[in-house]
Every structure is written in C-alpha cells, then in structure tokens.
Amino acid sequence: MAPKYAPGLRSRLAPLLLFLQAGFIVIFALYTEIDSNVKVDGKNFRDFYPEFQDVNVMVTLGFGFLCTFLVRHGFSGSGFNLLVAAMATQWAVILNGIESWYYRGKIRINLRSLVVAEMCTASALISIGTVLGKTNPVHLVLIALLEVTGFVLNEWLLQTLLAVRMQNSIMLLHVFGTLFGLMLTRLLYRKGSEQRFEKEKFDRKSGLFSMLGTLFLWMFWPSFNSVLVDSRAPTRKLGAVCGTYLALAVSAVTAAAVSVLSNPKGKLNPILMQSCILAGGVAVGVSMSVIQQPWEAMIIGFSAAAISTIGFQYLKIHMLLTFQCHDTCAILSTHGLPGLLGWLVHLLLQIKDCDDHTTISHLHSPDDDHCQFGHGIPHRIDSQDEVLETTSKQEMLRRSSFLGVSKSCGAQVRRNNLTTSDPGGICMYSLLQRFGEV
C-alpha cells in the first residue's frame, strides 16, 4: 500500500520543484559553458565517459533500488531517489563551479565536474537513508540541497585550510553523509520511536529489489573509488581498482561468515549482508591514496566488514535508546564506521611511511624526503610522477650544494696557489681538507 501524504503536499511539492528548476535554468543560462578542452586528466571523452556512466549507474540504480526494502515505501523510495539525485546534482555543479566563476566569469562544465557533482549527490543520498520512510518528498529535496551545500563547504575548507587533496576530501562523503543524517534523525525524533514502526516492515519482494541495488553498488564501486585518480599515473589507478575489488570481495565473505555465526539457526541473513557487504569499498575509498599492497586492502576490507556487521547487530538499537537516533537504513554501520576506519588507516599508514619524524625541521623542503608535510600533516607519495619529481628536487639540491662547495673549493685552491681544471678534483681536495686528510 502506497503511503498517504497530506492533501497540502501536492500544493507544495510542484511549486517548489518548478521554482528550483527555473532558478537552475536561469543560472545555467547566464553563468555556465561547456569546457572546450576535450581532454580531462589526459583522457579524452571516449575514455572518460564509461567511468562517468559507472558512477551514474551507482547513483541512479544502486542507491535507487537500495531504498526499496520498505514495504510501504519501496517503489516510492526509488522514485524519490531519482528526484533527489537530479536536483542535487544540478545544485552541486553550481556550487563546485563558484571558484571557476569567480576567476573566469563562467562555470566550466565537463564530465569531471559532473562526476564530482554526482559524488556530492551520493553523500546526500546516504543522509536520506537515515530518514527514509519518515519524510515526504518536499523534506527530501530540501534536505538534499542543504546537505550538498554543507558537503561542498566542508570540501572547500579541507582543501583550503588543511591542504587536503581533492580526491581525499571528496571520499569523506561517507562520513559526512552519515553524521549529517544522524543529526537529521535526531532532530526528527518523536516519542514512540523505540517501538518498531509499521512502515519498517519488509517482505521477500522488497528485499529482492534492495539486494539488486546492493549488487549494482558492489559491481561499480571500483569505478567510484578510482574515477578521480589521475589517469596520467596508471599505476595508481590500477591499484585503486584492484584494491577496491579485493576489499569488496573480502568484506562480502566476512559479512557472510559473521552473519552465519550471529544467527541462532546458522542461516545467512540477507538484510545484514546487504548492509555490510559494501563496507570494504567504503573503507578503502577513504584510505585509497596510502594503500600500496593488495594485502593492505584485504585487511582493511576484513576489518571493515567485521565492524560493520557487529554495528548492524548491536549498535542500531543502542543509538536509538541512548541518543534518540532512529537510523532506518543502518547508515552508521554501512558507511559511518567503515569510513572512520578508513580515515584512521589513512592516518596510520601516513605516519608509518614517514622515515624520520624528528628531522622535519632539518629538511630543506617539504618535498625532499619520502613523505611530504603540509601544515604539520604528513602526506604519502604514492605515484611514480611524484617520486620522479621528488628525485629531481633532490638532485637539484645536491647540484646546488656541489656548486657551493666548488666555489669554496676554488677560493681555497687560489689561496693555496693551486691550479686544476678538474672540478671534481677541486671538490675532492676541499672534502679531504675538511676531514683532515690534506
């Protein structure tokens, strides 16, 4: 049975949608243009479009079918997902292009900007999962616009104040969407939520469609994690795809095993599995820039699935009773906990890869050693291009030091009335003299 909304909803939803869409059309007509550069990160349209389509399938079909597990809200949830995704993506394109408009007078639109906008939309869809079944379409549209605004602002602050890479800041969409959604469900809490809602019932048909959405997400998650990786570093992109797939595979097996162990009858729990099977992809997406070995991604996938499964079993009811947060889709265990785990792994691997933390002040430049330091935060060098760039900087420093020594050597030689045409001999003379050999 479809949910029955108040009669006044019809008079509010249509004017709101028409007003917002008209405003978007005016903004796009005055301040946007198609980017004339046919290449994005070294790739042309033909190479980048399949990755854009993968992300589009995840946002539209993956999250759409994932929202169909509620009996009274199932098919409506899929339609609401498409409505929210369409509105939020347009708004995200505008907000992400403000900087381009400020410097160039126009918002440049290309496939990369659309992908970034859809990833911002994914954060909004994660937030909506916490209030699914308790809000009407007007609420969902307003929530999505507000959440996308907050996420873009958070991304700008991370990149500007903390010098976080764009890819790393966007991948925090899981954590941001979860926390934003928990805040919403706390504000929408009402008495009686401790008891099971009649709207929360699900049956075999709705569960089947929901599992289909999980399969779509599981299939295309490697593209989701690797789409923003620079294609000019193919090793990094291949590592992101392989690491994400391995983490997803390990998390699927772990979720199945823990599901059997936690079931009194020893049966698989498909609801638990579809909520925890994606945990590995979430955790690896947050920590992807510091993962170099396949076994690292597999351990992260195993840990994320275990934490997600335990959280789904015990944390949802405790969040409701203790903090009055009714999480409809268990977003905290699906996206929040794995995202926090991935952030923690990212921090620990960065610290591990720094060769010597006590000699930071003695470095000639933040890029001289095997780890970079920006605003006190170590950053791992994980691409061949960056290694070559760092090596060239080190070579320049050695050459400058050699020239400085050569100049001092020349003065010393002149003072000792020595002549030679070999700069190496001059430098060797000075070094030997320094150590008392001459």
For 41-89, how does the pLDDT look when each residue is reduced to its tens digit (9 = 90+)? 556 677 788 889 999 999 999 998 888 887 777 778 888 899 999 999 9
Read off the amino acid at residue 190.
Answer: R
Can you tell me whether residue 341 is helix, strand or coil?
A: helix
Residue 268 backbone zone (phi > 0: left; psi -120 to 50: alpha; other: beta)? beta
For residue 71, give Cα distances in angstroms to 75, 76, 191, 208, 333.
8, 10, 23, 12, 22
What are the tens digits of pLDDT across the range 104-137?
889 989 888 999 999 999 999 999 988 887 888 8
Give me the percent of the chain exceeding a pLDDT of 70: 73
Work out the average pLDDT over 300-316: 88
Highest mean pLDDT among 34-38, 110-114, 148-152, 162-166: 148-152
Pick the closest to residue 287 from 188, 233, 353 (CA basis).
353
3-state secondary structure 345-389: HHHHHHHHHCCCHHHHHHCCCCCCCCEEEECCEEEECCCHHHHHH
pTM for the predicted model, two decimal places: 0.77
Highest mean pLDDT among 4-8, 90-94, 420-424: 90-94
Residue 246 is predicted with a pLDDT of: 95
Interatomic CA distance for residues 33 and 30, integer angstroms: 9
DSSP string, 191-209: TTTTSPPGGG---HHHHHH
Q: Is the pLDDT of residue 157 over 50?
A: yes
Least confident of 146-160, 239-253, 258-272, 411-425: 411-425
Give me the percent of the chain exceeding a pLDDT of 90: 36
Residue 344 is predicted with a pLDDT of: 92
